[in-house]
Amino acid sequence: MSEERPPARVSPQHERVLAAKAAERLGIDAAEVKNLRVVRRAVDARHRPRFVYTLDVDLGERERALCEYLPLHSARVLAQEEIPKPAPGSEPLAGRPLAVGAGPAGLFAALTLAQYGYRPLVLERGRPVAQRVEDIARFHAERTLDPESNCLFGEGGAGTFSDGKLTTLIDDPRIAGVLAVLVECGAPEEIIFDAKPHVGTDRLRDVLVNLRKKIEALGGEFRFGARVEKIIPTGNALKVSAAGEKYESGAVLLAIGHSARDTYMMLRDAGVTLEPRAFQIGLRIEHPQEIINTAQYGKWSGHPALGAADYRLVWKGTDGFRPVYTFCMCPGGEVMAATAQPGRLCTNGMSNCARDGRFANSALVVPVSPEDFASFSTPGDPLSGIRFQEHWERAAFGLGGGDYGAPAQKARDFLSGSVGGGVGETSYRFGVVPADLSMIIPDFATRSIRRALPVFGKALKGFDEADAVLIGPETRVSSPVRIVREDGARRAVSTPALYPAGEGAGYASGIMSSAVDGILSAEAIITRFACPG
């Protein structure tokens, strides 16, 4: 995979303006700017909204001397970080490598393996994205859930029906390569330099098809409707059963999503070492997008150059109250029913590329530790966090009417502990039922969110006022399980042929970190095994 970030395109007029600004900052003539590339673009909305650009400027031979003269905060010489290319190992590989799961980790692992000639086979329990779209439309129309093709399972993983957010806290040079591939496959070029890049659910569907075709052109193959039902260690390989077919491989890259609860149970029963992992729980909060725009942009709200405003809010907590923060903020989006199990209800957020919907939503979540859910299963069970999630999801399903309607409450009523007569219009397609939301999240989450909401209301005007609606629950922010792996070799500690990767393995969160984790695990396979040829 290429580690070079492609040039970010701006209009010739904008390029001239940026070149002049850069020259002014550097104290040189604009003609000395030989070339210019936008590295990052952000909106600073703290006072008057303004765009803040970080530029890579080519000044020719004067570059190094000028940068040594200038203060470090003004300019620096940009060093290209090289990614060492994995050298194929010498150990013979039994069979061809398998990638289980076609989410970000599985897809980018498969692409990396295919680029090096390893011809991976991808096993995905769900369906191709076009059929998946039809299955979800049927779910919305008939309230009939397909456990294998839904907002969580299928080509692209759960992120396909979210916002396609590409923000990440990891710092890895492979990120540039991931972005380049996404743009090559049809993602907006702006993701290269936007500070908060996103693809959008609608655009991501075409990107996934093109990415699949790219992998296939390099020798990879896909099997959809192929849920892995059993793995059996055999020497240095694994026997894998999926949809009536049997496979054997010395390298099985396991890139399941964190909602593959039946797969976790299978892994536990097969003797794979698992451990419980801290995660988060909470509610969705929704506002008219106009309220967020006004709070962030003031009188410039509605300016076409600004688009839909977003936010990120954090309350650090205090004695007896846990930290609360917003997550997966979806400007111009909608609240979704994100479940793969009948009789369970969990919410998530989704936005299209244009982010032009009437509502904005985000998750309000608090941390959950293994001590919080240890009593929800037998002692020592690594899946007790799943039991904890299911407890609240069943409660929400019942409180919402048992037909995927969602419990909801005005933020003001939630704060006062009362259930009003209605909550008003929301984006949630199945409709909402006025309810006491303290019944669908644990008490520590209720108390902490009640304490944080007024703080957030002071930071963002209108956040906790009359138009704010809470919908819940949000239970699947991250994995409650970790598939324990060796630090260097990235193999499962109990199963040398198994390479856990991505969110479901408990080592990533979000599209970008999952993609990079998949790439790193693919590189570990490459450096261990000789190319099968």
| Boundary (domain end) residue, out of 431, 455, 474 | 474
Q: Where are the beta strands (DSSP E) in 338-430?
A: 347-350, 359-368, 406-410
Question: How much is the pLDDT for 2?
Answer: 41
246 and 313 in a single domain? The answer is no
Judged against a pLDDT cut of 90, whether residue 29 lies above it is answered with no
- Tell whether 126 is covered by a domain: yes
Same-domain status, 140 and 115:
yes
Domain presence at residue 76: no
Residues near 482 by beta carbon (within 8 Å), at least 6 away in sequence: 274, 275, 276, 277, 505, 506, 507
**Do the domain assignments include residue 81?**
no
Residues 116 and 180 in one domain: yes
- The closest of 246, 216, 189, 198 to 128, measured between CA atoms, is 216
- Of residues 19 and 90, the one with the higher pLDDT is 90
Instruction: Please report the DSSP string for 491-529 in residue order.
Output: -BTTBTTEEE-STTTTS--SHHHHHHHHHHHHHHHHHHB
- Asked if 186 and 229 sit in the same domain, the reply is yes
Residue 316 belongs to some domain of the structure = yes
Distance of CA 377 to the CA centre of its chain: 28
Same domain, 132 and 244: yes
Radius of gyration of the chain (CA): 24
2 or 152, which is more confident?
152
2 domain-assigned: no
- Range 142-153 average pLDDT: 96
Q: Are residues 450 and 512 in the same domain?
A: no
Model confidence at 70, pLDDT cuts 50, 70, 90, reads low
Q: Is it the case that residue 80 has pLDDT exceeding 80?
A: no
Residue 315 lies in a domain: yes
What's the CA angle centered on 243, arms 212 and 159, to 5 degrees?
Answer: 40
162 versus 141: the higher-pLDDT residue is 141
Q: How far apart are CA 85 and CA 505, in angstroms?
A: 24
Six-digit token pair at 244?
A: 């009536």
Q: pLDDT tens for residues 224-266? A: 999 999 999 998 899 999 999 999 999 999 999 999 999 999 9
Do 127 and 206 lie in one domain? The reply is yes
pLDDT at 69: 64
What is the pLDDT, as a whole number, of residue 391?
Answer: 98
With tokens 């039946």, the residue in question is 262
d(CA 509, CA 170): 10
Q: Which of 474, 490, 506 lies at the terminal end of a domain, its last residue?
A: 474
Query: Does residue 6 carry a pLDDT above 60?
Result: no
25 with 152, same domain? no
CATH number at residue 106: 3.50.50.60
Mean pLDDT of 5-26: 70
> Using 50, 70 and 90 to split pLDDT, how confident is the model at 48?
low
DSSP secondary structure letter of residue 415? H
* Residue 87: inside a domain: no
Q: Are residues 208 and 131 in the same domain?
A: yes
Q: Which of 79-83, 158-162, 299-303, 472-476 has the highest mean pLDDT?
A: 472-476
Mean pLDDT of 139-143: 96
**CA contacts within 13 A on the Cβ side of 452:** 26
Q: What is the pLDDT of residues 93-107, one digit of tens each?
A: 999 999 999 999 999
The one-letter amino acid code at 227 reads: R
264 and 373 co-located in one domain: no
One domain, residues 221 and 355: no
Domain boundary among 457, 474, 491: 474
Q: How confident is the model at residue 14 (pLDDT cuts 50, 70, 90)?
A: confident
Percent of the chain topping pLDDT 70? 93
What pLDDT score was predicted for residue 4? 46
pLDDT band at 18 (very low <50, low <70, confident <90, very high): confident
Q: In this predicted structure, what is the pLDDT of residue 82?
A: 76
> Total domain count for the chain?
3
**Buried/exposed 211-234: b ≥16 CB within 10 Å, e otherwise:** bbebbeebebebbbbbbbeebebe
Per-residue pLDDT tens digits for 322-370: 999 999 999 999 999 999 999 999 999 999 888 899 999 999 999 999 9
Query: Which pLDDT score is estimated for 57?
Result: 77
User: φ and ψ at 150, to 5 degrees?
Assistant: -160, -165
Q: Between 450 and 61, whose confidence is greater?
A: 450
Residue 8 confidence (pLDDT) above 80: no
Residues 238 and 119 in one domain: yes
pLDDT beyond 70 at 1:
no
533 within a domain of the structure (yes/no): no
Which CATH number characterizes residue 30's domain?
Answer: 3.30.70.2700
| Residues whose CB falls within 8 Å of the CB of residue 513, separated by 6 or more in sequence, listed in order | 168, 169, 170
The range of the structural domain enclosing residue 448 comes to 279-474
- How far apart, in Å, are the Cα atoms of 240 and each of 248, 252, 266? 6, 9, 12
How far, in Å, CA of 425 to CA of 495, rounded? 51
CB 52 within 8 A of CB 44: yes
From the list 284, 52, 270, 259, the residue with the least C-alpha distance to 152 is 259
25's tokens: 């900052």
The whole model's pTM is what? 0.91
Mean pLDDT of the residues in the chain: 91
- Give the pLDDT of residue 448: 98
